[in-house]
Chains A and B, each alone.
Chain A
Amino acid sequence: MAIPTLDEAQYIEKFGPHLNYEPPGGWEAHRQTGEATLVKTHCCFCGVQCGIQLKVQDNKVIGFEPWEEFPVNHGMLCPKGVKRYLQNEHPDRLLSPLVRTENGFAEASWDEALGRTASAIRKIQSEHGPDSFAILGGASMTNEKAYMIGKFARVAVKTANIDYNGRLCMVSAGAANKMAFGVDRAANPWSDIPLAKAVMLSGTNLGECFPILTDYVWRARDNGAKIIVVDPRMTPIARTADLFLPVRPGRDSALANGILHVLIERGWIDRKFIDAHTIDFDRVRDLVKRYTPAVTERISGVPAASVVRAAEIWGPAETSMLLHARGVEHQVKGVENCLTYINLVLATGRIGKPGSGYGTITGQGNGQGGREHGQRCNQLPGARDIENPAHREFIAEFWNIKESELPHTGLTACEIFDAIEAGKIKGLLSISFNPLVSIPDANRTRAALDKLEFYGCIDFFLSESGRHADVVLAGSLQEEDEGTVTTGEGRCVRLRKSVTPPGNARVDWEIIKDLAQRLEAGDHFLYSMSEDIFRELAAASKGGSADYSGMTYAKIEKNMGIFWPCPNWTHPGTPRLFEGGQFHHPDGKARFHAFEYRPPAEDIDSEYPIFFTSGRVVSQYLTGNQTRRIGDLVDQYPEPLCEMHPLLAAKLGVQDRQPVRVITRRGEIVVPAQVVKTIRPDTVFVPYHWPGKKSANLLTNRALDPISKIPEYKVCACRIEKVVQS
């Protein structure tokens, strides 16, 4: 039973989060002595992966300098990037493996920690079958680690149940991309954004979640572009948009259908492109006939006139970029929403050209690469399909195992927790994943963690989930290892080891390698450095959809990143996909998809009359396991607030900053109200970065998209009560 043995305050006292404000030794210490080295690497947060120079002295990260030559961000950084250097010498940094005792944790030797983990894996599997032990990976990890953990699960642990926290991020967009285009990657480099004459940002709080892309959008506007923003909240990027569409949560597919209706009616479609390069347009045309502006207004909550105006901006534009993120993707119809938006791109034929295209903006550090190399339950390296016989044969041979030994599709991240609850999965090993804070319906997640016979956790700080662990394996921060990540535009970039892991902590891939050895699969993991893993994953990807086989560390460094596909040594990489209308389905054509709007899994009713939605703030990243430990980032937005419109606040009798109780069918939280005119009056918003009693994911609905299995974070029903303080 993986039940924490201390109370929350005791864990916090020992493992944090404590707030670190200063570089090692304080502000004065290092600034007076000796020269510091500048290491050109990348920020560890978000899919933009800004270039940054970490300032290193005596094997400690002591600060940063902007890296102005890196072509994506030119030195620009968001506050998380500015303060990201404060982790390596952080007082909370795990310095040794830990094993759970009756009084929290005790330090252990690597031999003991790895031995206990390996024997727990084998014991559970011998009693309950190979799939009773699950592995959870993370999309903040390097390509090398993503590849290795996928191979480790299938070849060493021999379980089908390996998935990752990208399942909570953008898998619906990935599935939609494959269905529409035959490949899962943003279609354009971000350098196409400033060339667009119309930019539609749907469900992306771009200014807070991908801050440096703001400059790309502003440059488009400087060049005469019109900006359309679709969001239930007037986010910083929406404030100065040309057209703001305040969509009712969970209604995105209706809105996109409505815009296409007007495009077709006004003749703003590219019939030549549609005929030559796509199929199934007629089905969509017939479907959207019903989505008149009036009908669209009724469903989506966006005025009919604004629906028409969106079409008037989008339709005749010479070039255009459509970008979306979690707002449309975190729904039980996430795939449908994305495909409905893709219809707008295909109908106008504006894709595969300079300034014209489409992309999902991946949220996690390696949101793109993390989903390509086989840490997904339904996927093999090179973005191959685990149920495709040819793909299975190729990878089995490459890994030197029998095809019959290669597990088939396993459970997805949320389903793994459902299976723990049902008693089917008994053991878990996680790396860079904090499910207690990130999986919806946190009360159930906590009960599931408690129920595990064994939980092993590889991480650099002890997360809230890690408190449940039987064994904690002290791993590495991004700056403590070599590797690569693939950014949201499909550019594979190089991360540099700036320092070695402190204390007795170890580099993640070495931990996995040692575990594989203890599981008698050491022969399959004969790596002596990160580049060995990269060479193998690049070779494994050859001929796959995400082909890295023409990349090397040296080539990536020299070019400041290479876009896949890059199928041979002389290939320069592929910044823009689909040039000349060539899509990646076998017939070379893109697919339209006709989806009737359907409501969210849980809609508002008289008992729960208000929409609940969640998202990020600019100063925090994901579950906050890193950013809730950095003082200035915490001070910037110290605790979750419940954003609500003054009309709703007046109805509830709530003043700004008064505590309110937000209640859903799954749980309740008490947080201060933030009364602002920048959110729909029928909707409240709470950011999700916090654990415990203020966790937004106590409220959210673990209802899954049927295709991608992404949960519906972005819409459920709640009611609000004013908290009367005595």
Chain B
Amino acid sequence: MIGADDQFFIDPSRCIGCESCVLACMECDTHRGRSMIHLEFIDRSSTTQTGPVVCMHCEDPACAKVCPADAIKQTEDGIVHSSIKSRCIGCSNCVLACPFGVPHYVAAIDQMVKCDMCFDRTSIGKKPMCATVCPSQALFFGSVEEVTRIRTERPIQEFQFGGQPLRTKVKMMTAPGTELMDVDIMDFMPGAESTMVDIAALSVWTEGMEVLNA
């Protein structure tokens, strides 16, 4: 059973791009084979980095604010739900407005659908499906106390998009001190200018450790 304080954490640095989360999302009873989440290949030409995209459940959700039909509701627990079928007019304002690229307009049902953090599962004490199956636990469901005890990355929930600050219910795990990680296999081969730079010097966790140990 899940705890009352359990929350959702995303750590893209752990993601292995397997899409287990996306496929498992289809299997939730109420989803009927439709996944509410997706996986981004950040730039496959230069990296195997991938990023799982679930709804961040903004405290002041842009999707709901721009909805002309008032079809997107936020419940007291902070969950921002899929559009209400009887209200959604399929205009896709929410799709355009979301800074994280979460909502999908599904033409077949003329309705926007999105991740509701497995409301049907969490309401009966189960963890969200994607965070349960995630093989690398890039998607993690547990308490803040637990995640900060077992991991060196730290959760954040404040974002800045241009001039617009944003606060979310879902937390993103980040490593202090990381600015850019541009990986090319050539950097690790003989004759490369940066041969001596092993990936430890670039790795988010090692830097995180150094900061923590300082």
Q: Which residue in B33, B136, B188 is a CB contact (below 8 Å) of A207?
A: B136
Q: Does B133 contact A (CB under 8 A)?
A: yes
Q: In the complex, what distance in Å separates the CA atom of A31 from the CA atom of B129?
A: 17
> Chain A CB within 10 Å — which of B13, B127, B183 has the most?
B183
Q: Does A306 contact B (CB under 8 A)?
A: yes
Measured CB to CB, the closest approach of chain B to A44, in angstroms, equals 16
Q: What per-residue 1/0 map shows which CB atoms of B185-213 lie under 8 Å from chain A?
A: 11011101001101110011110010000
Q: What are 14 A-B pairs with beta-carbon distances under 8 A? A: A27-B32, A77-B135, A82-B20, A207-B16, A211-B16, A211-B135, A218-B136, A239-B47, A239-B48, A240-B13, A301-B189, A678-B185, A680-B185, A681-B185
Q: In the complex, what distance in Å separates the CA atom of A22 from the CA atom of B34?
A: 11
Q: Which residue in A81, A218, A306 is a CB contact (below 8 Å) of B198?
A: A306
Given the interface pairs A246-B185, A306-B188, A678-B185, the reply to whether A75 lies near B20 with Cβ below 8 Å is no
Q: Does A187 contact B (CB under 8 A)?
A: no
Given the interface pairs A221-B205, A222-B150, A645-B185, the reply to whether A677 lies near B47 with Cβ below 8 Å is yes
Q: Which of B23-82 contact A (CB under 8 A)?
A: 23-24, 26-27, 29, 32-33, 44-50
Given the interface pairs A27-B32, A239-B183, A646-B45, the reply to whether A309 lies near B198 with Cβ below 8 Å is yes
Once the chains bind, are A77 and B20 in contact (CB under 8 Å)? yes
| Other A-B pairs, 13, CB within 8 Å; known A76-B134, A215-B137, A678-B48 | A66-B132, A66-B133, A75-B132, A79-B22, A79-B23, A207-B16, A211-B16, A211-B136, A222-B150, A241-B203, A244-B188, A303-B195, A636-B19
Once the chains bind, are A243 and B199 in contact (CB under 8 Å)? yes
Once the chains bind, are A68 and B132 in contact (CB under 8 Å)? yes
Measured CB to CB, the closest approach of chain B to A198, in angstroms, equals 12
Contacts of A679 in B (CB 8 A): 185
> Chain B CB within 10 Å — which of A81, A214, A238, A304 has the most?
A214
Contacts of B152 in A (CB 8 A): 222
Q: In the complex, what distance in Å separates the CA atom of A345 from the CA atom of B102?
A: 47
Once the chains bind, are B16 and A632 in contact (CB under 8 Å)? no
Q: What per-residue 1/0 map shows which CB atoms of A214-253 lie under 8 Å from chain B?
A: 1100110110101000000011111111111110000000
Measured CB to CB, the closest approach of chain B to A680, in angstroms, equals 6
Once the chains bind, are B33 and A214 in contact (CB under 8 Å)? no
Q: Which residue in A236, A240, A303 is a CB contact (below 8 Å) of B204?
A: A240
Once the chains bind, are B134 and A234 in contact (CB under 8 Å)? no
Q: Does A480 contact B (CB under 8 A)?
A: no
Nearest-neighbor residue (CB-CB) of B140 within chain A: A215
Chain B at the A interface: mostly helix, strand, loop or mixed? loop
Contacts of B5 in A (CB 8 A): none
Measured CB to CB, the closest approach of chain B to A226, in angstroms, equals 7
Measured CB to CB, the closest approach of chain B to A662, in angstroms, equals 20
Q: Which residue in A76, A221, A236, A304 is a CB contact (below 8 Å) of B48?
A: A236
Q: Does A676 contact B (CB under 8 A)?
A: yes
Residues of chain B at the chain A interface (Cβ within 8 Å) = 13-20, 22-24, 26-27, 29, 32-33, 44-50, 127, 129, 132-137, 150-152, 183-186, 188-190, 192, 195-196, 198-200, 203-206, 209
Contacts of B18 in A (CB 8 A): 78-79, 207-208, 211, 618-619
Contacts of A678 in B (CB 8 A): 46-48, 183, 185
Once the chains bind, are A215 and B190 in contact (CB under 8 Å)? no
Q: In the complex, what distance in Å separates the CA atom of A297 from the CA atom of B14?
A: 30
Q: In the complex, what distance in Å separates the CA atom of A82 from the CA atom of B45?
A: 28
Nearest-neighbor residue (CB-CB) of A76 within chain B: B135
Q: Does A28 contact B (CB under 8 A)?
A: yes
Measured CB to CB, the closest approach of chain B to A580, in angstroms, equals 31
Once the chains bind, are A236 and B33 in contact (CB under 8 Å)? no
Once the chains bind, are B33 and A618 in contact (CB under 8 Å)? no
Q: What per-residue 1/0 map shows which CB atoms of A625-665 lie under 8 Å from chain B?
A: 00000001100100000000111000000001000000000
Q: In the complex, what distance in Å separates the CA atom of A198 from the CA atom of B198?
A: 16
Q: Does A64 contact B (CB under 8 A)?
A: yes
Nearest-neighbor residue (CB-CB) of B195 within chain A: A303
Once the chains bind, are A303 and B45 in contact (CB under 8 Å)? no
Once the chains bind, are B185 and A677 in contact (CB under 8 Å)? yes
Contacts of B188 in A (CB 8 A): 244-246, 303, 306
Once the chains bind, are B196 and A305 in contact (CB under 8 Å)? yes
Q: Which residue in A240, A632, A636, A676 is a CB contact (below 8 Å) of B44?
A: A676
Measured CB to CB, the closest approach of chain B to A389, in angstroms, equals 47
Once the chains bind, are A240 and B203 in contact (CB under 8 Å)? yes
Measured CB to CB, the closest approach of chain A to B203, in angstroms, equals 6
Measured CB to CB, the closest approach of chain A to B31, in angstroms, equals 8
Q: Does A21 contact B (CB under 8 A)?
A: yes
Q: Which of A547-605 contact B (CB under 8 A)?
A: none
Once the chains bind, are A234 and B19 in contact (CB under 8 Å)? no
Once the chains bind, are B189 and A240 in contact (CB under 8 Å)? no
Contacts of B16 in A (CB 8 A): 207-208, 211, 214, 236-237, 618
Q: Which of A358-406 contact B (CB under 8 A)?
A: none
Q: Does A473 contact B (CB under 8 A)?
A: no
Q: Does A212 contact B (CB under 8 A)?
A: yes
Nearest-neighbor residue (CB-CB) of B44 within chain A: A676
Once the chains bind, are A214 and B185 in contact (CB under 8 Å)? no
Contacts of B136 in A (CB 8 A): 207, 211, 214-215, 218
Q: In the complex, what distance in Å separates the CA atom of A63 from the CA atom of B23?
A: 12
Nearest-neighbor residue (CB-CB) of A235 within chain B: B48
Once the chains bind, are B133 and A77 in contact (CB under 8 Å)? yes
Once the chains bind, are B195 and A242 in contact (CB under 8 Å)? no
Nearest-neighbor residue (CB-CB) of B202 within chain A: A240
Q: In the complex, what distance in Å separates the CA atom of A238 from the CA atom of B49?
A: 10
Contacts of A676 in B (CB 8 A): 44-46
Q: What per-residue 1/0 map shows which CB atoms of A485-529 lie under 8 Å from chain B?
A: 000000000000000000000000000000000000000000000
Once the chains bind, are A241 and B190 in contact (CB under 8 Å)? no
Contacts of B32 in A (CB 8 A): 27-28, 31
Q: In the complex, what distance in Å separates the CA atom of A304 from the CA atom of B198?
A: 12
Contacts of B195 in A (CB 8 A): 303, 305-306
Q: In the complex, what distance in Å separates the CA atom of A75 from the CA atom of B192?
A: 43
Q: In the complex, what distance in Å separates the CA atom of A246 from the CA atom of B209?
A: 25
> Chain B CB within 10 Å — which of A27, A64, A237, A240 has the most?
A240
Nearest-neighbor residue (CB-CB) of A233 within chain B: B185
Q: Does A100 contact B (CB under 8 A)?
A: no
Contacts of B17 in A (CB 8 A): 207, 236, 618
Measured CB to CB, the closest approach of chain A to B180, in angstroms, equals 14
Given the interface pairs A22-B33, A218-B136, the reply to whether A677 lies near B190 with Cβ below 8 Å is no
Once the chains bind, are A677 and B27 in contact (CB under 8 Å)? no
Measured CB to CB, the closest approach of chain A to B125, in angstroms, equals 12
Q: In the complex, what distance in Å separates the CA atom of A89 from the CA atom of B107?
A: 29
Q: Does A675 contact B (CB under 8 A)?
A: yes
Once the chains bind, are A64 and B33 in contact (CB under 8 Å)? no
Q: Does A83 contact B (CB under 8 A)?
A: yes
Contacts of B23 in A (CB 8 A): 79, 82-83, 632-633, 636
Contacts of B29 in A (CB 8 A): 31
Q: In the complex, what distance in Å separates the CA atom of A646 from the CA atom of B26?
A: 36
Contacts of B33 in A (CB 8 A): 21-22, 27
Once the chains bind, are A675 and B45 in contact (CB under 8 Å)? yes
Q: In the complex, what distance in Å separates the CA atom of A306 from the CA atom of B209?
A: 21
> Chain A CB within 10 Å — which of B13, B49, B132 has the most?
B132
Q: What per-residue 1/0 map shows which CB atoms of A19-60 lie under 8 Å from chain B?
A: 001100001100100000000000000000000000000000
